[in-house]
Copies of this chain bind each other. A is one copy, B any other.
Amino acid sequence: MPVNLTSPVAARLLPVAGVFLGITEANIKREKRKDLLVMQLSEGSRVAGVFTQNRFCAAPVIVAREHLAQPDGIRALVINTGNANAGTGEQGMRDARTTCAALAGLLGCKASQILPFSTGVIMEPLPVGKIAAGLPGCVANMRADNWFDAAHAIMTTDIVAKAISKQVIIDGVTITITGIAKGSGMIHPNMATMLGYIATDAAIAQPLLQQMVGAAANRSFNCITVDGDTSTNDALMLIATGQTALPEVNDANGTAFTALQAAVTEVAIYLAQAIVRDGEGATKFISVQVGGGRNEAECKQIGYAIARSPLVKTAFFASDPNLGRILAAIGYAGIDDLDIAALKLYLDDVLVSEDGGRAASYREEDGQRVMGQSDITIRVVLNRGAALATLWTCDFSYDYVKINASYRS
């Protein structure tokens, strides 16, 4: 069950002026399941995104990158679940283009103004006929207040839908930001079987929009791991429709940009953490804070060694304070000149280790108490600099194995 994560309340998800969402059941992998989403954008909307760095990236990722580079402006996104259209070679590329062309025909725009996204099983042909047959249903269903259904339509092994809205007032103008995401397994940065879509009604200049989505991803989706597997299909898209009275944001040092960046990052962090809380088989949500490092990179390197260790994760599943496994992970993280005698390890507020061994003040019952919680922070203080990184992960349970052993059945 998801760890301290409840389903979003439909009434709290705010429409974003200029974004319309249509959902249908296209029977892509299973019957009677919302599995196809179209997000239509008003003219003049801008879109920026970050994509997986997997060399085996999926056909829709390649096509979406191509289309984003065109000057005409994006008018719609089409997202299917049930099939990733990854590892599908040239046929996969043709299928992604066919999907775009079919939707463009319905919306009266160019195929290059459509961004395609797919998530689901890898290396099986995309059922492009079913998708094309479903698109008119999406178009007929198009509404501004469809975010709740949209969040459900992109789920695969997710148990809970992930969506949030936030408003900020900038120069007296209320700006709305609404985001949805999916992901539960194959989660590791750069990025994971993760799809995220965040839209705002503010107007943001294109280069700043790209900067904003990159910065938000680095503090959110690039700070999570469930199983260390980086997916072929990950994408985080940031949409700015420019449908409010606020003038276009075009100064990266201005207060409007700063306020928007903070709000977008906050939405992205909520969604990224929700993915970990809903991590496959998760029973605990674990924050890994590594501080006192020479730079952020080494903090993340140590954090990920801890966060992806199956031994650490099974110990947390068992609520067993077998905390030497955390020391072992720190030790093999690859920091060659790390002085283990200088570092301190805390579990929430409990000092576990210092001087290269167990802290004199540490008592097993204190470790046991923290281990019994569902939200736990592992804190490592390296004492060799001022840099800091925080990552989020979950524990590793029987159900992770069960879910992934039966994924295709």
Contact = CB atoms under 8 A, between A and B. Distances in A.
A90 interface: yes
Interface in A169-203: 185-186, 188, 190
Contact of A404 (B55, B84, B314, B406): B314
Contacts of A190: 332
A152 to B, nearest CB: 24
Contacts of A317: 401, 405
A308 to B, nearest CB: 8
A331 B84 CA distance: 15
Nearest to A317: B405
Interface stretch (A22-30, A210-218, A335-343): A335-343
Contacts of A400: 310, 314, 401
A123 B325 CA distance: 9
A397 to B, nearest CB: 6
A89 interface: yes
A230 interface: yes
A90 B356 CA distance: 8
B55 A323 contact: no
A331 B232 contact: yes
B398 A310 contact: no
Interface string A88-119: 11111000000000000000000000000000
A84 B404 CA distance: 33
Contact of A332 (B53, B90, B404): B53
Chain A, interface size category, equals 35 or more
Copies of this protein in the complex: 2
Contacts of A357: 87-92, 123
Given A55-B332, A328-B229, A332-B54, A358 B310 contact: no
A330 B400 CA distance: 22
B331 A123 contact: no
A258 to B, nearest CB: 34
Contact of A310 (B121, B125, B227, B323): B227
Interface string A117-136: 00001111100000000000
B398 A340 contact: no
A229 B353 CA distance: 20
Given A227-B309, A232-B331, 8 more contacts: A53-B332, A56-B328, A122-B325, A123-B324, A228-B310, A229-B309, A230-B331, A315-B404
Interface of A: 53-57, 84, 86-92, 121-125, 185-186, 188, 190, 227-232, 308-311, 314-315, 317-318, 320, 322-325, 327-333, 335-336, 338, 340-341, 353, 355-358, 396-398, 400-402, 404-409
8 contacts: A56-B328, A87-B327, A87-B356, A90-B355, A123-B358, A227-B309, A229-B310, A318-B409
